[in-house]
Amino acid sequence: MKKFLINTFKRSLAFFKKDLINQTSYRLSFFLNILSIFIAVYVFFIFSKLFEGSNNYLEKFGNNYFFFLIIGISISDVVLRISSVINTEVRNYQLTGMFEEIINLKAPIIELLSYSFIYPIVYSIFRLLIFLFFAVIFFDLSLDFTNIGLIIFAIFLTLTSCIGIAYIAGAYALAFKKGNPLSAINQLSVMILGGVFFPTTILPDWLNYISQFIPITHALEIIRYLFISENFLNTEVMQHFYSLALLSLCFLSIGLVVCNFAIKNGKKNGTLTIY
């Protein structure tokens, strides 16, 4: 067990260093990304001015559309980035011929693919903090950190669901190579039905029902509510936690099963290295 943990740590660190070196080699791109976050926050701040004043849909969010929007955008940035990791890595490995090397390694392929999450998760959390930092420091966004432990737990569950979705998209890439509609469906679901730009209560009843099966819907409800001063854990928030935990478990379980199946089937048919 000790040897397994040591090997896992070494592999995780190796993958993290690889991705970090690759990203930091483009320093201008890194700083431009930070600048783009500031510009985005500024644009959202200006845009939110159009919705100032009392609004029935935003009442439970303090009638603050900038608060509503910046939380939605920052969390969706994390979700979309993580849920596309395996699909992107699979395509890169196929195009660069690295799959041939991976197949010959002793470690299971899905384990090696899983290490690809480490850097994107760290970088996505960093971007999330930068979003909130700019909003708080430069645009007077008010956030209450009393419930920060619960908020971190909600983000953890959200990341778990994203990893599951990433495995599912990765399985599609392994099986069908080009043109991954699952990634497009996930992006549309998150941005339109997930409550990023507007409360899901605005949606027609049937769409609102569908949105309840999208993890980010519950994550945003939890995080927005708990970031508001004098709000604490209640029955409604607990219900969202239960839903988010159940969806995270379901997506992760399905993702691992279908990704393992796609890898085994690819090995059997000799199609893993074909792109």
For the stretch 104-123, pLDDT in tens is 666 677 777 888 888 899 99
CA–CA dist 81, 223 (Å, integer): 19
CA–CA dist 90, 194 (Å, integer): 27
Q: What is the pLDDT of residue 160?
A: 95
Q: For residue 231, how far is the Cα from the chain centroid?
A: 25
Mean pLDDT, the chain, integer: 85
Residue 177 has pLDDT above 90, yes or no: no
Question: DSSP letter string over 177-222?
Answer: -S--HHHHHHHHIIIIISSSSS-GGGS-HHHHHHHTTSHHHHHHHH
Q: pLDDT tens, 48-93? A: 888 776 677 788 887 889 999 999 999 999 999 999 888 888 777 7
Q: pLDDT tens, 224-242? A: 999 998 888 899 999 999 9
